[in-house]
């Protein structure tokens, strides 16, 4: 499996230094959308890479430090609720992707983006649908984004214990809506996401 992901990337390395980009947290009601950009070292492969959603939490947590250690460069960006409300979630995510790529210590020459559209970058890029299950670089980015966001939400859970964020990480569960009904809307919430449901 890992070999297939690296083989996919190898085709694009003909274009030069390759970077993978993915996000986590587009759907939650609160907290940031988190974007990661990763440049892997093909000579130092990471076993077990996959779409972060297909990996157990334990496996993601184990891969998280290994990716940071073995990657040639990585950069993680959080785009907060205020920016999401101001721009909308798609544009906020695109902004995060641009910032993640621009924040790398090595300038990539080709960028693979998970999904069906690319941000406005100064380097060549290509969108790959379900890229986190096809490309090693995107898979590594998906794990960094997911785990970074989960860690951030666990900290928020300590600041706002009433919402039990450690359980649902801000996603719109039945229980989460019940807690919102009980405690109201805190500053960490995306007001544009709650308008439709009459919370704001």
Query: What is the residue-wise DSSP string for 19-67?
Result: EEEEEE-SS-SBS-EEEEEEE--TTS--TT---GGGS-HHHHHHHHHHH
What digits encode the pLDDT tens for the residues 68-109? Answer: 999 999 999 999 999 999 999 999 999 999 999 999 999 999
Q: Which two tokens stand for residue 154?
A: 């666990």
Percent of the chain with pLDDT over 90: 94
Q: Is 15 helix (H, G, I), strand (E, B) or coil?
A: helix
* Residue 55 CB coordination number (10 Å): 20
Cut 0.85: pTM above it: yes
CATH superfamily of this structure's domain 2-197: Ribonuclease H-like superfamily/Ribonuclease H (3.30.420.10)
Question: Which pLDDT score, from 0 to 100, does residue 176 have?
Answer: 96
Could you tell me the strand order of the sheet in which 73-79 lies? 73-79, 33-39, 18-24, 110-114, 124-128
- Cα distance between residue 166 and residue 83, in whole Å: 23
Number of separate helices (H) and strands (E) present in the chain: 8, 5
Give the up-direction half-sphere exposure of residue 189: CA atoms within 13 A in the CB hemisphere. 19
186, 30 in Cβ contact below 8 A? yes
- Find residue 24's DSSP bridge partners: 34
What digits encode the pLDDT tens for the residues 123-146? Answer: 999 999 999 999 999 999 999 999
Q: At what angle do helices 2-12 and 136-159 cross, to 10 degrees?
A: 110
- Find residue 19's DSSP bridge partners: 111
């Amino acid at each position: 499996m890992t070999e297939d992901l690296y083989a996919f990337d190898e085709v694009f390395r003909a274009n030069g230094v390759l970077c993978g980009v993915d996000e986590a947290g587009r759907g939650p009601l609160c907290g940031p959308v988190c974007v990661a950009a990763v440049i892997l070292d093909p000579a130092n492969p990471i076993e077990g890479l996959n779409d972060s959603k297909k990996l157990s939490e334990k496996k993601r947590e184990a891969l998280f430090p290994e990716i940071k250690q073995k990657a040639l460069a990585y950069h993680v960006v959080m785009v907060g609720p205020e920016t999401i409300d101001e721009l909308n979630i798609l544009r906020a995510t695109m902004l995060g992707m641009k910032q993640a790529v621009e924040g790398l210590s090595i300038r990539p020459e080709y960028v693979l983006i998970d999904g069906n559209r690319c941000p406005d970058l100064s380097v060549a890029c290509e969108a790959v649908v379900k890229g986190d299950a096809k490309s090693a670089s995107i898979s590594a980015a998906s794990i960094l984004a997911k785990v970074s966001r989960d860690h951030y939400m666990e900290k928020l859970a300590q600041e706002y214990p009433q919402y039990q964020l450690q359980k649902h990480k801000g996603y719109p569960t039945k229980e989460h809506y019940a807690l919102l009904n009980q405690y109201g809307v805190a500053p960490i919430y995306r007001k544009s996401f709650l308008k439709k449901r009459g919370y704001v």
